[in-house]
Amino acid sequence: MKQLEKLILSSMYVSSLSDRDPTDIIKEKVGVTDEIIDSKIQECISNHLINEDKKTLTENGRSSLKVVLAGGVFDIIHPGHIHTLNAAKSLGDILIVVIATDKTAEKMKKRLPLHNQNQRKLLVDSLSMVNLSVVGHEGDIFKTVDLIRPEIIALGYDQIHQEKFITEGCKKINLDVTVARLQSPIPEVSSSVIEKKYGEDIHGI
């Protein structure tokens, strides 16, 4: 599949999960005119990849994309996050990142996050490898998984979720998914290490 066609299909998918116009998403990624975009969309419609509404993917269009789902708190963005998210993105065409809610983050970290969930979403959305971030559901991670319907779920090396738990949970929502456990290329750089070394200073800002 050609690069522009893949970008258009990816943008249509991201648009379906957000309130953004797919054309605006495309223009952010590549400098092409509206005429070129419209022409390519018409070609995708002819190839049964995009529906006539020019906003949604057909079943063939969706199946041509490999969506990767990753998640975390992302309170303090550090090099470990960047490497992990780059590794996750390399597994597919689209990277969707789930941001833990403030309540979930507090349960996980035993403290309130420095940044609220909307601020953390804004931080993650600014990362170039991330196509879209969404705030997760309270208490049930599979509600968000069911919304995204990814082909791959990428787990960080230090995330507590077990592959079997994820796989079995996905089966309950009729989702056949591959679970990938990512290895950190810089294990000495993690949120817990940063907090252990600088925690009091950080929280005293």
Strand order from edge to edge, sheet including 67-72 = 132-135, 94-99, 67-72, 152-155, 178-181
Report the candidate in 167, 3, 19 with the shortest Cα–Cα distance to residue 93: 3
Which pLDDT does position 46 carry in this prediction? 97
Which pLDDT does position 77 carry in this prediction? 86
pLDDT tens per residue, range 122-169? 999 999 999 999 999 987 889 999 999 999 999 987 776 788 999 999
Global pTM?
Answer: 0.86
Give the residue extent of every domain in the chain. 3-63, 67-203
Could you tell me the pLDDT band of residue 1, with boundaries at 50, 70 and 90? low
Q: Percent of the chain scored above 90 by pLDDT?
A: 64
- Whole-angstrom distance, CA of residue 189 vs CA of residue 78: 7
Could you tell me the pLDDT band of residue 2, with boundaries at 50, 70 and 90? confident
Dig out the tokens for 92 from the structure: 């597919």
The answer to whether residues 13 and 62 touch, using CB atoms and an 8 Å cutoff, is: yes
67-203 in CATH: which number? 3.40.50.620
